[in-house]
């Protein structure tokens, strides 16, 4: 009888705990963002551009963190932050996205929730002002994970998400870079002078300890044939699991897809029992580097540890907690 009572007590106790989840209600809300990794150096920006990029990252951090401090979910914070960056002309996402070989814009985005592994993505959308909202709608309002092309645009319209003409995404700077790329006659790989991956992404932890990750991009300059990179692919460019971490990537997407890069970081933590820092560094420097691929990653684990790594000259990045905010635009020494 004593053993039955002990077993009953144990089962009741276990019933009040969710294994693999970080459920501390007083968790410090944390948000981390990137605005792309690549050949990003101070000489590439005017003083005014530098101020505007910094301000956009700061606004994105503040918008996302406010959602968290107000008690909002991690995925809503991710969307709030990424929308700010999609609306800025200084990143390869939303307004300011690169152009295809045909001279138009095809945008990709994804989001994932760590509490239940739900995810949503859109690829090749052309009229959706904020692709990250489309990804969120796919996750919450459909039983699919990814929609692409005309179907994704039609779904976004059915969800009453804001639509724009494709020309809205064009900026004078992007148009000039596109013209230069056409003159050089390349399609892939990107020329060294223009190899700046402005993909944007965000990872967050809310007050309940739940994680989420999101990524948004315009893809590669001068891309052809409906090319899709890693950003809308769950496990490649985006991944979140409360048991391990939340990840958003930026870089040469074909290589991230081949590695299942974001999921691999999570797997190292889950199966290798290593720290977030070790998992990120191993995947980036021991797996991606040998492929001679370029890029970066931001990641946040269930305990609030942050990693922001890249193997390029620079990466726009920043993070914010209740007590601290940090923003960096260039190399690791800055």
HEC string for the chain: CHHHHHHHHHHHHHHCCCCCCCCCCCCCCEEEEEEEEECCCHHHCCHHHHHHHHHHHHHHHHHHHHHHHCCCCHHHHHHHHHHHHHCCCCCCCCCCCCCCCCCCCCEEEEEEECCCCCEEEEEEECCECCHHHHHHHHHHHCCCCEEEHHHHHHHHHHCCCCECCHHHHCCHHHHHHHHHHHHHCCCCCCCHHHCECCCEEEEEECCCCCEEEEEEECCCCCCCCCCCCCCCCECCCEEECCCCEEEEEEECHHHHHHHCHHHHHHHHHHHHCCCHHHHHHHHHHHHHHHHCCCEEEEEEECCCCEEEEECCCEEEEEEECCCCEEEECCCCCC
Q: What is the pLDDT of residue 41?
A: 83
Query: Would residue 304 count as lying in a domain?
Result: yes
Query: Would residue 7 count as lying in a domain?
Result: no
Q: What is the pLDDT of residue 194?
A: 42
Q: What CATH number is attached to the domain comprising 238?
A: 3.60.20.30
Query: Would residue 47 count as lying in a domain?
Result: yes
What's this model's pTM, rounded to 2 decimal places?
Answer: 0.90
Active site residues: 199
- 238-276: pLDDT as tens digits: 999 999 999 999 999 999 999 999 999 999 999 999 999
Query: Would residue 69 count as lying in a domain?
Result: yes
- 50-77: pLDDT as tens digits: 999 999 999 999 999 999 999 999 999 9
pLDDT, greater one: 186 or 297:
297
pLDDT (mean) for 22-48? 81
Query: Would residue 12 count as lying in a domain?
Result: no
Query: Would residue 2 count as lying in a domain?
Result: no
Q: What is the pLDDT of residue 181?
A: 82
pLDDT greater than 80 at residue 189: no
Query: Would residue 8 count as lying in a domain?
Result: no
Would you place residue 198 in the very low, low, confident or very high pLDDT band (cuts 50, 70, 90)? confident
pLDDT (mean) for 292-321? 95
Would you place residue 334 in the very low, low, confident or very high pLDDT band (cuts 50, 70, 90)? low
Provide the domain count of the chain. Answer: 1
* Residues spanned by the domain of 242: 19-328
pLDDT greater than 70 at residue 281: yes
């Amino acid at each position: 009888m004593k053993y039955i009572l002990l077993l009953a007590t144990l089962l009741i106790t276990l019933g009040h705990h969710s294994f693999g989840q970080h459920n501390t209600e007083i968790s410090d809300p944390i948000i981390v963002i990137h605005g792309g990794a690549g050949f990003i150096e101070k000489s590439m920006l005017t003083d005014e551009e530098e101020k505007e990029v910094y301000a956009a990252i700061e606004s994105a951090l503040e918008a996302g963190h406010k959602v968290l401090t107000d008690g909002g979910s991690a995925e809503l914070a991710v969307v709030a932050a990424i929308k700010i960056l999609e609306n800025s002309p200084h990143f390869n996402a939303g307004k300011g996205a690169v152009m295809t070989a045909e001279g138009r814009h095809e945008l990709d985005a994804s989001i994932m929730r760590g509490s239940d592994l739900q995810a949503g993505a859109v690829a090749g959308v052309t009229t959706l002002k904020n692709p990250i909202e489309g990804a969120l709608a796919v996750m919450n309002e459909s039983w699919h994970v990814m929609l692409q092309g005309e179907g994704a645009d039609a779904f976004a319209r059915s969800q009453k998400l804001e639509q724009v003409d494709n020309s809205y995404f064009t900026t004078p700077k992007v148009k000039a870079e596109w013209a230069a790329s056409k003159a050089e006659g390349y399609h892939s790989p990107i020329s060294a002078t223009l190899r700046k991956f402005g993909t944007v992404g965000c990872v967050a932890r809310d007050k309940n300890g739940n994680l989420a990750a999101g990524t948004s991009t315009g893809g590669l300059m001068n891309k052809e044939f409906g090319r899709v990179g890693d950003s809308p692919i769950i496990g490649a460019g985006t991944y979140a699991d409360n048991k391990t971490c939340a990840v958003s990537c930026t870089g040469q997407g074909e290589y991230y897809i081949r590695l299942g890069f974001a999921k691999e970081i999570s797997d190292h933590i889950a199966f290798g029992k290593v720290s977030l820092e070790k998992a990120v560094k191993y995947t980036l420097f021991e797996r991606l580097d040998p492929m001679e691929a370029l890029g970066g990653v931001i990641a946040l684990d269930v305990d609030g540890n942050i990693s922001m790594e890249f193997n390029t000259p620079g990466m726009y990045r920043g993070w914010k907690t209740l007590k601290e905010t940090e923003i960096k635009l260039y190399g690791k020494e800055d």
